[in-house]
Amino acid sequence: MKGVLATIGALAALGGHPVWAQSTGECVPSALNIPEAKYPCLYADHRALFRVVAPDAQKVRVRIGPGFDMIKGPDGIWSVTTTPLVVGFHYYSLQIDGAVIADPSTQTYFGSGWQNSAIEVRADDAAFYEHREVPHGRVSQQLYHSKVTGQWRRAFVYTPPDYDSATRKSYPVLYLLHGWGEDETGWYRQGHVDDILDNLIAAKKATPMIVVMDNLNAVKPGESAALFAARGLVPPPSDAPPVPPSRGAPPAAAGRGAGPGAADRGAGGPLGRPTYTEMMLTDLVPMIERTYRVRPGRENRAMAGLSMGGAQTFATALTNLDKFAYIGGFSGNCGGFGRGNEAPDMKTVCGGAFADPTAFNAKVKVLFLGIGSAEGPGTRSFSETLTNTGVRNVYFESSGTAHEWLTWRRAFNDFAPRLFK
């Protein structure tokens, strides 16, 4: 008996326990979980343990990275430990007997057009976007009525720490856009833009500024919203009266995809959506300049965005250089951001905005191109082509990250200190 116990002890010491064999150290709940939820949790090597209650299900899968089939335990709870995840913020979903749904254990985040679950693998450099003991700005909900779309719209507005007390001071403004399938909540919830700026301002690295986080979806009555709609919206019954085409027919596929392909991600195309530009210049900018203490003029106005929001930024700002002096695209621009590496024609790309580099450089104080190192060489080669053509620009690469929020937090952290100097 003593020998058996000793053997068990030795096995345990060597990690021989049947369930915890694969676990080294404590599994720490993801910071994005709902209060008190212990799963999903993360090991020090970035493997994640997911657990889901689905006692009568036949097949349960967690859709993160390559996807992982879960295994049902005797208690009716399904579990899986993944391979190590990349650092940063990841949307994910569960698939339970064919239904793609959010994990009820996490807070939800609007991405891919619906309320996704998400998990955060803390990065070593996380301090730059974490909440610290520094003076804090405020993020406010700002509704406004759009003449262009005929609808009420919502933006979130960051005002810097001294905004409420320095009541005679006015500020420059950055207009900041989310990506495909996201909304105006993305930059302050997934992006931590308030904490990044609070920390930069406290360190005297960034000029205090107002940041306007708007919703990229703007369609006029009758315009199709198809590009902005979620994948996998539930279609109407097949014997129901057909939906008039003007209201936008839902996609035929019944599954809910993880997101668009690379080609879709920068959608909006080289020239973006003219309706957004019109709405922004007609409704949003005047409302902001009427409502907040804003410093006037193009040298106090910047625009940036991620992915589809980067494409929209280039489309809007490059055609309105009398209004914007600072332009940023994070994993999205007008000339190449993904896997492609063909050199574009600098005379015609981006609507010919770079055809006269000297004139361009005289107007644009910062042209910023950010990308994750795992996203491919397209943005780097676009930046190099711009440089070779004589167009001054800044290239930023986030090490080891993909088309995800850690790339965009890091890009913003590099971009913001360059503004309004």
Q: Which of residues 389-418 bind a copy of itself (CB under 8 A)?
A: none
Ramachandran bin of 296, using left for φ above 0, alpha for ψ from -120 to 50, beta for the remaining angles: beta
Residues 317-346 contacting a copy of itself, CB under 8 A: none
Residues 208-227 contacting a copy of itself, CB under 8 A: 217, 225
Report how far apart, in Å, the C-alpha atoms of 179 and of each of 10, 188, 262, 267, 330 are. 52, 13, 12, 9, 10
- How near is the Cβ of 317 to a copy of itself at its closest, in Å? 25
- How near is the Cβ of 310 to a copy of itself at its closest, in Å? 21
In this structure, are residues 386 and 393 in contact, taking their beta carbons and an 8 Å threshold?
yes
In this structure, are residues 406 and 380 in contact, taking their beta carbons and an 8 Å threshold?
no
Q: In terms of DSSP bridges, do strands 88-96 and 114-121 run parallel, antiparallel, or are they unpaired?
A: antiparallel
Residues 21-40 contacting a copy of itself, CB under 8 A: 34-39
Task: Provide CB contacts within 8 A for 278, sequence distance 6+.
Answer: 148
- Decide if residue 256 touches a copy of itself (CB under 8 A): yes
- Decide if residue 143 touches a copy of itself (CB under 8 A): yes
- How near is the Cβ of 278 to a copy of itself at its closest, in Å? 20
Using CB under 8 A, pick the residue from 221, 239, 244, 261 that binds a copy of itself: 239
Q: Which stretches does DSSP call E strand in 149-191?
A: 152-159, 173-177
- Decide if residue 229 touches a copy of itself (CB under 8 A): yes
- Decide if residue 15 touches a copy of itself (CB under 8 A): no
- How near is the Cβ of 116 to a copy of itself at its closest, in Å? 9
- Decide if residue 178 touches a copy of itself (CB under 8 A): no
Q: In terms of DSSP bridges, do strands 326-330 and 366-372 run parallel, antiparallel, or are they unpaired?
A: parallel
Ramachandran bin of 362, using left for φ above 0, alpha for ψ from -120 to 50, beta for the remaining angles: alpha
Using CB under 8 A, pick the residue from 25, 240, 244, 358 that binds a copy of itself: 240
- Decide if residue 139 touches a copy of itself (CB under 8 A): yes
Contact letters for a copy of itself, residues 272-301 (x by CB under 8 A): -------------------xx---------
Angle, CA 216 vertex, CA 182 and CA 255 arms, to 5°: 40
- How near is the Cβ of 217 to a copy of itself at its closest, in Å? 7
- How near is the Cβ of 256 to a copy of itself at its closest, in Å? 7
- The amino acid that residue 326 corresponds to is Y
Residues 47-106 contacting a copy of itself, CB under 8 A: 51-60, 73-77, 79, 94, 96-102, 104-106
Size, binding site for a copy of itself by CB under 8 A: 77
Distance between CA atoms of residues 35 and 21, nearest Å: 28
SS3 324: coil
Using CB under 8 A, pick the residue from 221, 237, 242, 261 that binds a copy of itself: 237
